[in-house]
Amino acid sequence: MAFSRGPVFLLLLLYLLQMSDTSLVRLNENGYEDIIIAIDPAVPEDTTIIESIKEMVTKASTYLFEATEKRFFFKNVSILIPESWKDSPQYRRPKQESYKHADIKVAPPTLEGRDEPYTRQFTQCEEKAEYIHFTPDFVLGRKQDEYGDSGKVLVHEWAHLRWGVFDEYNEDQPFYSASSKKIEATRCSTGITGMNRVYACQGGSCATRRCRTNSTTKLYEKDCQFFPDKVQSEKASIMFMQSIDSVTEFCKKENHNREAPTLHNEKCNYRSTWEVISMSEDFTNSIPMETPPAPPFFSLLRISERIVCLVLDVSGSMSTYDRLNRMNQAAKYFLSQIIENKSWVGMVHFSSQATIMHELIQITSDIERNKLLQTLPTKANGGTSICSGIKAAFQVETISLLQMKPRTMDSLMLSGPWLQKTLISPRSHFSTVGKDTFFLITWSKQAPAIYLRDPKGAQMTNFTMDSASKMAYLSIPGTAQVGIWTYNLEAKQNSEILTITVTSRAANSSVPPITVNAKVNTDTNTFPSPMIVYAEVLQGYTPIIGAHVTATIESNSGKTEELVLLDNGAGADAFKDDGVYSRFFTAYSVNGRYSLKVRADGGTNSARRSLRHPSSRAAYVPGWVVDGEIQGNPPRPETTEATQPVLEDFSRTASGGAFVMSNVPGDLSRDLYPPNRITDLQATLDGEEISLMWTAPGDDYDVGRVQQYIIRTSKNITDLRDNFNNSLRVDTTNLTPQDANSKETFAFKPGNITEENALYIYIAIESVDKSSLSSGPSNIAQVALFTPQAEPDPDESPRSSGVSVSTIVLSVLGAVVLVCIIVGTTICILKNKRSSSAAITKF
C-alpha cells in the first residue's frame, strides 16, 4: 500500500496488524464520490482496460441517473493500477485509497472461463454489500452478447452493492405456477416477453424443442430456459435482465411481480426493488436534479512501495500493565515479519513532546530492519500528546499509530501450568503448506517451556529467545512440511499471559492462498438487537465450503462466547454454500466493546472449492428471440469436480475487529429474542400428502429449540402472505421441534379442497418459543395439485407412434381420488377410496 506526501495520513492500529476495508464512497449533492476501481495485480498489463473502465462508468452514470429518476450519478472515480504495470506521467500516488477499499475489482474470474459479473453480497436486505467483481474480458466488452452492455450491468451490480437489493430471477426456481393458471418464467415484470424452450447444441448444430412438464414439480423440466424477445417495450426491471434494450427502470410497487419466487422477493419480504431503494439513506438525503450531471472525473493512481512511520507512545501510562513491552513485541513482529522489502519506514516516539528517532529508510535487508529495532523505546514517562507525535510524523511521511493498551493482543490469562489454547490458535495443532513460516511466542512474566513438533514428529528446538522483549521466535526456511504441526506451551508461573502467532506465505505464487475474513453487521449496536457474525473463507475469489468455522467473542470484562458458524442458507446465513459462514449473536453480558476472532479448519475430507455460480450477479442470457427464431449465445462454462484440485488440510485465523454494545441491562433473565424466521421451506407432493422440509430455528434466533410450529395454507399467495393468521391451519399435533439448525420434515394431507380451488396450495410456517415470541411467517412454498397450463406451441403436432403420456395428475376430492392421464385427449378416472369401482371419462 502506498500514500502520497502531504497532509494526508492513515492511522494504523498496528497492534491489530490490520486495516479497515470499509468503502470510502460518499454521496455529495446527488453524486457518488471516492469510488475506487482496483485492477488486480494478477491482471496482465493492458492499458485498454483503463479506457474501457472509463467508458463503462461514463455510460453507467447516465443510465443510473435516468433509472433513479434523476437522483444519482457517478461524480469521481479513482482507478488503482498495479505496481507491476509501467509507470506513466498521468499516474499519481494513492492517498488513503487501497485495494482493500475497492468498490469494484477487475480481477481474473472466480473459476477459469467464468466471466460472470457479480457482487459479493451476503448481508441482509437493505444492507450494503462487499464489492463488485468484473473480469478483464467483461470490462473489455467481450461478453456483451451474454450479459449486455457493461454500463447497464454496472448499474445492476451497484444496486446490489449500495442499496442491498437482490436479483429478480432465480436459477434454482426458474419457473413457477402463476395465478393465471400458467407456468411463468420467474421475472419482474411479467411484461417481459419471450419463449420457454430447450436449446441444445452438438457438433456445430443446434436445435430447439418445446419444454416438457416435470411430473414431480408440475413445472418445466431442468433444461428449459427462458429466451427473451430481442425487441421489447417493457421498461422494468433492471434487477431481472438489464441486458434488454428497452429496460431502463427498477420494478415499482405498481408493476412488481409478488408471485414470482425471485431472490429479491424472498430476501426483501416481497417489496419491489424501487421500494427498497426508496428506503435507503441515499434516497432520503437527496432530491431529483433539474439538469443532467457532468461526466465522471477519473483519477489514475498507481500503487508503489509502502511508506510507513511508526508513532510509538512512550508516555508514563505505558509503564503500567506491561504495555511498553507489549507494544515493542508488536513493533518487532511488524518490522521483522510484516513490512515488505522495498518499503520505506520511519519512527517517532512521543510523550508530552515528540522525537523523530529515525528518518525514512528503505527496507532492503535485515540491516535496515535491525537499525529500526534498535530505536525501539526502553522506558516510558511523561505526559501524553498524540498530536505532537502526529505532527512530527508529518515531517517523516505517512503515519502509523502504535499505542498498545491492555487486552489488545491475542492472549489468554492462565491460572494453571499448561496453555491449552490461545485466541489466535485455539487448538494445540495447526496445518500449513506455506513458505517462510514464522512462529512467534510472547509472555508477560517468564519464558515458558516450548514444545513444537513437525508432521513427522520431530521436535523443533532452535527457537531464538529474546528475554528482554519476552519473545521467542523460529523461522522455517523454504516451504514447511505439509501436515499437522503440534505445540504445547508450559507456563512457569501462575496468572501468565502467553500468545502464539504463526504466519506463512503462499508456497506457490500461482496458487492463491486460502484466507478467512471476519466481520459483524454493524460496529455499534443497542440491546436487544442481535449481531450477525460473518466469516468468509476463500481461495483467491473462489468460496471454500464444508469448512469447520468457529467464532470467539470476548467482552471487555473478559467473558468469552464461542459460536459455530454455518453456511447452510438458513437463519443469519443468506446463501447456502457460498463460502460465507454466519450466525446470530445475542449472548451479551455487559455494555462496551466486544472483540471477534474467527478460526476456519478444513481439508481433503471436508472442505472443497465451491462450483456454484456466485449469487447476486447479472443474469446470463442464453439467447434472444428474433423474428420468432432463437439466436443462441455460447453455452455458459460449467466446472466439474474432476477439474478441481485437491485441497490440503488448512487452518486459518482472523480478527473481525470489534463492536460496541449499549443499553445492556443488569438483569438478563427476560426472554427478548424470538426464533429466527425460516427462509428455506420446501414443499413437494408425495401421493396424497404434501411433504415439507426446512431448517429448524432456535428459541433465541438460531440457538436452542422452539416450542411449536404453526403451519398454514391457502390457495392464494397474497392472502397467505398478508393475512397469515387467518389462513387455514394445519394440524401439527405430532410435530415435535428439533434443536436449532437440524433438518425438519413434516407431511400432511391438505383439507378443504374442492374441484374449483384445487389448482395449487401455498404453505408457510411460523415458529413460536416458550415465551410466545414468534418468528413471523416463513418464505412461502408452493405445491401444484393440477398441472398448470404449459406454453402453447401451435407448430408442434402430437407424436403419431404410440401414446405419449405427458403427465399424471392426482388429487383428493373428499373420499374420491381423481386421476387424470393427459394425452391427446384427457382421460380421468374417478375412484372411490372405499371400493375398487371406478368410472372412466374422456374430455
C-alpha cell at 363: 527496507
What are residue 176's DSSP bridge partners?
A: 184
H-only helix segments in 641-729: 717-722
Residue with cell 397474497: 718
Give yes or no for a contact between 336 and 369, defined as CB atoms under 8 angstroms apart: yes
CB under 8 Å to 58, separation ≥6 — which residues? Answer: 151, 295, 296
Identify which of 41, 68, 262, 69 has the alpha carbon closest to the alpha carbon of residue 158.
68
Catalytic residues: 157
Residue type, 822: I
Number of residues written out for the chain: 843
Report CA 526 to chain centroid distance, whole Å. Answer: 24
CB under 8 Å to 116, separation ≥6 — which residues? Answer: 109, 147, 613, 614, 617, 618, 620, 636
Q: Between vectors from CA 796 to CA 187 and to CA 809, what angle results, nearest 5°? A: 65
- Distance CA(176)–CA(187), nearest Å, equals 10
H-only helix segments in 765-830: none
- Distance CA(579)–CA(21), nearest Å, equals 19
Identify which of 12, 19, 1 has the alpha carbon closest to the alpha carbon of residue 657.
19
Task: Name the DSSP class of 681.
Answer: -
- Distance CA(581)–CA(546), nearest Å, equals 10
Give yes or no for a contact between 604 and 514, defined as CB atoms under 8 angstroms apart: no
Identify which of 345, 349, 348 has the alpha carbon closest to the alpha carbon of residue 367.
345
Identify which of 8, 36, 42, 1 has the alpha carbon closest to the alpha carbon of residue 22.
36
Task: Name the DSSP class of 679.
Answer: -
